[in-house]
């Protein structure tokens, strides 16, 4: 069997299979051709299904309990108010491109999440959305930024403040960013010799959070005939045109993967988890707050608090454990019974109409392996099958909100992203119900004829 000469991965952050593969494929001829000439389907994201850790789990084939981060914001165990950001310095496992680079293969990466600050690669790296701005050193080799600015007439890493009400402006900026990234990626693809080329576009994620309600008749805030009715489809058609150019530039000997890190779907609302904990008598504030207030550690009466939470597309629940937290109240001996009680209470949360939600509360020890499992939140909350996000602000009127504490947002994440891949020659990938983002790195290595490290064994899709 001939090995593929080269591999290209095009990442569409947040691309949802139910739209891209099931509804819109006929409008995306280049993706359709890839699907028909190769294999495609759903790909299970990490737990939690969010950008950090999903892309890094995809490229290292290790789970968040091994990686040691559970979002881009992370808590230091035993501290009430510390947060650290999981950027590239937090990634201590080799990604597929590190393994390929060690084997002498040239790799070019553009905008893959968690690549700032840049580390040396055997090739070129342009970092991604946790880069403060383009005045920082965000390329390897250093100093490429000027060339990228010249190619793209000012390179853009991300759209600032995508949770905004100025939708026309947001849409314009998303297209601008996508086109600049595409220009830069095309140029690098043409000037550099490469065996592995990967680019990730954040536009789909920003678009879906900003525009889902305009495009999905099932969304609670949808209004028929609005001016952005086709904004999501139009953008994916645009991405598909770029995909066609990419595939043509990559050449016939390249294996091509289009993949997303997780899916997306309509947000039903935001549940005020800390207000709920207060109501349950599990969280006590030093004094009542006046109106919606950002939750901060220094407003908590820790000696009378059992648990507190961080919000987001999944909820992170922390227990105030004696001997672990500075003013812990829950004896270690009671830890499991307190967790069980919290799980039962959260799984009994009903929606605003009083209907049962389909919620899942996970113990990290049940889903992860690795030395960092105990750095995970004590419980991870998927409220109503992820249809509801969790809001951490306190002082809300009632427990159900429909805007987030960080601005308007219309969509949540979903467990499954999409994958479509075509290999040259006769080879085919097997994509099935168990296909997981952690299967991507070993597949790439095998396609390129490199040995698969022990920890990735059994995961290749070939
Ligand atoms: Zn993402």
In the reported structure, the alpha carbon of residue 204 is separated from the centroid of ligand 1 by a whole-number distance in angstroms of 9
In the reported structure, the alpha carbon of residue 58 is separated from the centroid of ligand 1 by a whole-number distance in angstroms of 12
Q: How far is CA 67 from CA 44, 47, 128, 205, in A?
A: 18, 12, 19, 23
Residue ranges of the domains in the chain?
6-266+413-456, 269-408
In the reported structure, the alpha carbon of residue 15 is separated from the centroid of ligand 1 by a whole-number distance in angstroms of 8
Contact present, 134 and 166 (Cβ < 8 Å):
no
The pLDDT value recorded for residue 2 is 44
Tokens 């525009």, located at residue: 211
For domain 6-266+413-456, give the fold: Alkaline Phosphatase, subunit A (3.40.720)
pTM of the model: 0.96
The pLDDT value recorded for residue 1 is 41
In the reported structure, the alpha carbon of residue 166 is separated from the centroid of ligand 1 by a whole-number distance in angstroms of 22
Relative to beta strand 263-266, strand 411-414 is antiparallel
In the reported structure, the alpha carbon of residue 73 is separated from the centroid of ligand 1 by a whole-number distance in angstroms of 14
In the reported structure, the alpha carbon of residue 202 is separated from the centroid of ligand 1 by a whole-number distance in angstroms of 7
Low-confidence ranges of the chain (pLDDT < 50): 1-2
List of residues 6+ apart from 312 with CB closer than 8 A? 50, 71, 389, 390
Contact present, 9 and 198 (Cβ < 8 Å):
yes
The pLDDT value recorded for residue 426 is 86
Looking at the chain, the number of H-run helices and the number of E-run strands are: 13, 19
Strand, coil or helix: 145: helix
The pLDDT value recorded for residue 403 is 72
The pLDDT value recorded for residue 39 is 96
The pLDDT value recorded for residue 405 is 65
Between CA 339 and CA 228 the distance in angstroms is 44
Q: How far is CA 249 from CA 31, 182, 191, 194, in A?
A: 15, 12, 11, 12
CA 394 to chain centre: 26
């Amino acid at each position: 069997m001939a090995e593929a000469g080269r591999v290209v991965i095009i990442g569409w952050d947040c691309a949802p299979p139910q739209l891209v593969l099931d509804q819109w494929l006929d409008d995306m001829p280049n993706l359709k051709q890839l699907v028909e000439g190769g294999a495609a389907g759903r790909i299970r994201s990490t737990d939690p299904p969010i950008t950090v850790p999903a892309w890094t789990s995809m490229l290292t084939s290790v789970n968040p309990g091994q990686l040691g981060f559970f979002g881009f914001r992370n808590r230091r165990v035993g501290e009430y108010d510390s947060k650290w950001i999981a950027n590239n310095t937090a990634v201590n496992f080799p990604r597929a491109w590190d393994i390929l680079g060690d084997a002498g293969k040239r790799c070019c990466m553009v905008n893959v999440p968690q690549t700032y600050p840049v580390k040396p690669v055997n090739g070129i790296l342009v970092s991604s959305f946790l880069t403060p701005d383009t005045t920082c050193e965000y390329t390897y080799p250093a100093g490429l930024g000027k060339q990228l600015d010249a190619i793209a007439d000012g390179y853009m890493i991300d759209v600032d403040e995508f949770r905004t009400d100025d939708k026309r402006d947001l849409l314009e900026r998303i297209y601008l960013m996508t086109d600049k990234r595409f220009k830069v990626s095309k140029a690098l693809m043409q000037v550099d010799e490469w065996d592995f080329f990967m680019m990730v576009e954040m536009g789909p994620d920003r678009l879906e959070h900003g525009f889902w309600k305009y495009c999905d008749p099932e969304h609670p805030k949808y209004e028929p005939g609005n001016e952005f009715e086709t904004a999501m489809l139009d953008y994916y058609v645009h991405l598909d045109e770029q995909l066609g150019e990419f595939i043509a530039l990559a050449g016939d000997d390249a294996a091509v993967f289009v993949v997303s890190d997780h899916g997306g779907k309509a947000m039903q609302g935001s549940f005020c988890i800390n207000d709920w904990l207060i109501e349950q008598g599990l969280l006590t504030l030093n004094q009542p707050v006046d109106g919606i207030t950002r939750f901060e550690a220094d407003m908590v009466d820790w000696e009378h608090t059992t648990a507190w939470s961080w919000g987001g597309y999944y909820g992170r629940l922390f227990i105030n454990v004696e001997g672990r937290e500075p003013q812990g109240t829950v004896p270690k001996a009671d830890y499991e019974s307190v967790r069980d009680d919290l799980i039962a209470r959260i799984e009994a949360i009903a929606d605003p109409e009083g209907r049962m939600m389909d919620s899942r509360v996970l113990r990290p020890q049940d889903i992860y392996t690795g030395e960092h499992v105990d750095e995970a939140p004590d419980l991870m909350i998927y409220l109503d099958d992820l249809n509801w996000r969790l809001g951490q602000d306190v002082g809300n009127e009632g427990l159900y909100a429909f805007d987030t504490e960080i601005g308007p947002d219309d969509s949540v994440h979903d467990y499954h992203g999409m994958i479509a891949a075509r290999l040259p020659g006769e080879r085919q990938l097997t994509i099935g119900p168990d296909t997981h983002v952690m299967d991507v790195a070993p597949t790439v290595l095998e396609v390129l004829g490199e040995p698969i490290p022990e920890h990735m064994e059994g995961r290749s899709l070939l």
